[in-house]
Amino acid sequence: MSAAPANHGPDSGRSISLARLLVAFLKIGSIGFGGGMAVISLMEREFVGKRKLLAADEFVHGVGLGQILGSFAVNAAFFIGYRLLGMMGGILSAAVFLLPSAVLVTGLSDMYFRYHSIPALQGAVAGLGPVVIALILNAGWSVGRKVLRTPAAIVLAAAALVAGALRVNAVWVLVSAGALGFLISRERPDRSVREDPDPSPRTKVLAILPPAAGLAAILGSIGATFLKIGLVFFGGGFVLLPLLHDRLVTDLRWLSAREFLDGVAISNLTPGPIAVLATFAGYRAGGVFGAVVATIAIFTPGVGLMMFLSRQYERYRDDRRVRRFLTGVNPAVTGLVLSAAVLLGRTAMTSWRAWLFCGVSLYLLGKLRWHPAPVLAIGAAAGYLGALP
């Protein structure tokens, strides 16, 4: 195994211990409501803005690479951990980031399959919407002011914003922007910063096999199923939903149509990626062990590819051709971040009070530099009390 990568942040004298790194990701994984881009904004704030452990362009490169396969929030966590503390730092960062969501989904799944109802948390989560929009806008501004240095970069960011709002696959947006980077590379980038459900499949298997053999069989099936799904996990969690529905409801019948919809809702109640729907389905099929296996399996292909890309990034980051490609990718990532605010805003910003609270949140986060946690807590309380419908 190669030595840990050197810290390339703007302040080379700064470093972080493994314990502090994991605590930071545990915190982000616990409060990162709102989907991938909202989580990315928290990571940017923590590791680029506050701790100054990564250069802005390096962080943007990691976000771009993470969008190829799998959950880009999980992949970005791996990239940051790898850049700071090597392979073990990357693996543990991704695992700790996912831990709060996986535990929460497992607990909610147990309650759901016992009582067949969703806990009454939707009001509180609805109140988080305006804060999440503010977080994304603040992150877009923070990253954009560092990478949007030329008219061509601004045009690329605007084009990516429109493409993202129209739900064009992020991979194609980034590849196209990178190709255009070869054309605009003469403008030198700034380098100063870097229903009644069917019986559980678990019950069906265990009815005809000894307990140990039955559990091993269903866990093997769960692992193989979600590993295959993870291999085609392109374009983010919502792009993955039709594939999950076809496989889990239509083919395997591990979930009923009603359970699938409720599983999507439960996964949206957690701070992690929507792909933790796999945890819900894994619990339905194999209990707690099934939830663990499903979660690991669906994220393994993406993290595995990110391991490879992170090692190649260390080797080729200063290659002239790579830098020209990244010249186009950087502003495109900024546009995609802002497009997430547009997409989420269609459902989150439904009243003048939501717009007002979003503005206040943006002021608290951007101008007064409040930590996101208390702002999110205020939003959740307002939503629970009905002040932010």
Q: Give the separation between CA 213 and CA 203, rounded to whole angstroms.
A: 13
pLDDT for res 2: 45
Q: What is the pTM of this model?
A: 0.66
Q: CA–CA distance from 220 to each of 96, 155, 226, 282 (Å)? A: 24, 49, 10, 11
pLDDT per position in the chain (389 positions), as tens? 444 454 544 444 458 999 999 999 999 998 876 556 678 888 998 999 888 999 888 998 888 888 778 888 899 999 999 999 999 999 999 999 999 989 988 998 888 787 766 555 566 666 777 877 787 787 777 767 777 878 888 888 888 888 877 877 666 787 788 788 777 655 444 444 344 444 454 444 443 344 555 678 889 999 999 998 888 776 555 556 667 777 888 888 888 876 876 676 677 667 777 678 899 999 998 899 999 999 999 999 999 999 998 888 877 776 777 777 767 777 877 787 777 677 767 767 878 888 898 898 888 877 887 866 678 778 878 887 877 66
pLDDT for res 185: 58
Give, as one character, the DSSP assignment of residue 279. Answer: H
pLDDT for res 204: 41
Q: Give the separation between CA 161 and CA 337, rounded to whole angstroms.
A: 8
Closest CA to 138 of 379, 355, 331, 370: 370
Give, to the nearest 10 degrees, the angle between helix 277-316 and helix 237-245. 130
Task: List CB contacts of 381: < 8 A, sequence separation 6 or more.
Answer: 124, 127
Q: Give the separation between CA 98 and CA 276, rounded to whole angstroms.
A: 9
pLDDT for res 103: 93
Q: Give the separation between CA 2 and CA 361, rounded to whole angstroms.
A: 43
pLDDT for res 234: 61
Name the token pair of 236: 């983010």
Give, to the nearest 10 degrees, the angle between helix 277-316 and helix 56-66. 130
Length of the chain, in residues? 389
pLDDT for res 76: 92
Buried b (16+ CB within 10 A) or exposed e, 121-132: bebbbbbbbbbb
Query: 């099929």: which residue's tokens?
Result: 285
Q: What is the largest CA-CA distance in the chain?
A: 68
Closest CA to 240 of 283, 301, 314: 301
pLDDT for res 92: 97
What is the secondary structure of 168-188 as a DSSP string?
Answer: --HHHHHHHHHHHHHHHTTSP
- Alpha-carbon Rg for the chain, nearest whole angstrom, is 21
